Structure 1
Amino acid sequence: MTSHASQPSAGAPAPVVYAVDLCKTFGRQGPAVAALDHVSVAFAAGRFTSIMGPSGSGKSTLLHCLAGLERPTSGSVVVAGTDLARMSDGQLTTLRRDRVGFVFQSFNLIPTLTAEENITLSERIGGPRIDRQWMTHLVQVLGMGDRLRHRPSELSGGQQQRVAIARALAHRPAVVFADEPTGNLDSHTGGEVLHFLRLAAEQFGQTIVMVTHDPAAAACSHRVVFLRDGQVEGELPDPSTEDILARLAPRGSAA
C-alpha cells in the first residue's frame, strides 16, 4: 500500500531530502517485520518537519534511512540530489560528515574537547573548513560566546544541546536530523532549543527533520508527518498542540 505522502512533482521546487516507496524489513529468521512499508515523503528547504507516531510506528527507522545510517530493503532516498542507494559505505560516511547534521537526545559531545572543538568537529575529522564568521554568528545567536573554552562536564544540559546544535549547523549541511533533541531537557530549556531549530529553518534556510513523541515539541515545527505501522498516516501543516492531540486521540497517543 502506498503512503499518503506525495512524491516530488514536476514544476515544484526540488526537495532537499525525499524518500520514494521506502521499505525496511527486519528479521531473516522467522516472520519478517516491516518497519517501513512503502513510505514516500519529501522535505523542503527552510522547513522544520516533525515525525510522530506510536512506539514501533517506524519513525526512528525512517530517520535512520533518510540520514544514511541504515540501508532500506527497497525504495530510494535522495539527499541534496544524491541517491543514497548508489553510494558505497565510505561515500555515505563522507556524505554524513559533509552534508548532514545530527542532534541527538544524549548530546553526543566528546568530553575531552572544549565546546569550540566540539562545534568544529567535522572539520577536525577531515570535512570542509568551517566559515569562522558563520560559526561566530551561530555562537552569538545561541548565547554560547562565553562558554567556548568549557568542556561538556562544565556545561548545563541546555548549554550542551546548544553546542550540539551549533555543531550540526556549523558546516552548513543540506539537512539536520534531530532525534528527540529535547528529551533530556526541562520544558523551558527544551522550548529554547526548539525555538532555535525553527529559527534556523526560517532565517538560515535550514532543512530540519525531527523525530519526537511530544506534541508540544512537534507544534514548534512547520509540519508534522504521522506514521503508523510503518506507513504515513497523514500530515498536518502549521500544527498546534491541540491539533496534534486531536489527530492522535482517535487511535491512541504517540508514546
Structure 2
Amino acid sequence: MQDDDKPFPAHAAIDPEPHVLVVDDDGAIRSLVSKFLRDNGFRVSAARDGREMREVLDSAAINLVVLDVMLPGASGLDLAREIRRTSSLPIVMLTAKGDETDRIVGLEIGADDYIAKPFSPRELLARIKAVLRRVNVGAAASGAPARLFRFEGWALDPARRELTDPGGVVVDLSTGEYDLLLAFIEGPQRVLSRDQLLDLARNRVATGFDRSIDVQISRLRRKIEPTESSPPMIKTIRGAGYMFVPKVERA
C-alpha cells in the first residue's frame, strides 16, 4: 500500500517527451495504448492494478495517468481518490460506454478528463495532449513579470498555477478546477453560461446535457467556500449560468 505519509509527486516538470502511466488490467488495451502513445512521442509505463501503479509512481517522474475505472482490487475511482489526496497529477479516466455515474464521480474526485470505452486511440491522444497543455501553460510561459489575481484575501498565481487562501495556505486544485477558477477570475461579476465556461476553461466541447461544469463548480465551491459562513464566491444565476461575485484585483 501507498504510505500515507509519502505523497505522490504533484506532476513531473515540463518534458519534451512526456511520461504517461497507463493503468488497465486488459493486456490488449495496455499494449495498444502504450504502442500508440510511444509512436506519437511519449514515454509510457504500464500497470495492471493499484499495486503496480504505486510502484511506478514511486520510482518514475510521471506527467499524466490514464486510469481505467474497472480494475481488480481497488477500482480506478479508489485509486484516483488516493492520488488526489496528495497530488495534482493529471488523470484521464477510462469509463464504460454510456456510464454517466462513473464519469460524474470521476470528475467529482478530481479527474481532469474522461473517455468512454471503446475509444479511438487518436481521441485519447488528443485528450492527453489537451490536459498536458492546460497543466503546462503556466510553467511554459515566457519570462514576463508574474501577475497575481487577488480577491477576498485569496491570491491566484497563474505562472505557478497556485491558489493561496487568506491565511497563506496553498490550496490544491485539479487542472479542471484551476482552469474554471481562472475563467471566473478573468470575467468577474459577469454572468457566464455553461457553454462559455466550457470554452473559457478550455475543457472538452459540450455535447447535449453536460454536467461536468456543475461538478467542477461544486468541487471549487467546497475549496473556496469551505464553511456555511464563508462569503459566497460563485453565484448560480437560474437559467443563465454562474457569476463570480468578488471584486478581482491584479497585482
User: Considering the TM-score relative to the shorter chain, is it more than 0.5?
Assistant: no
Question: Which of the pair is proportionally richer in strand?
Answer: 1
**TM-score normalised to the size of structure 2?**
0.29
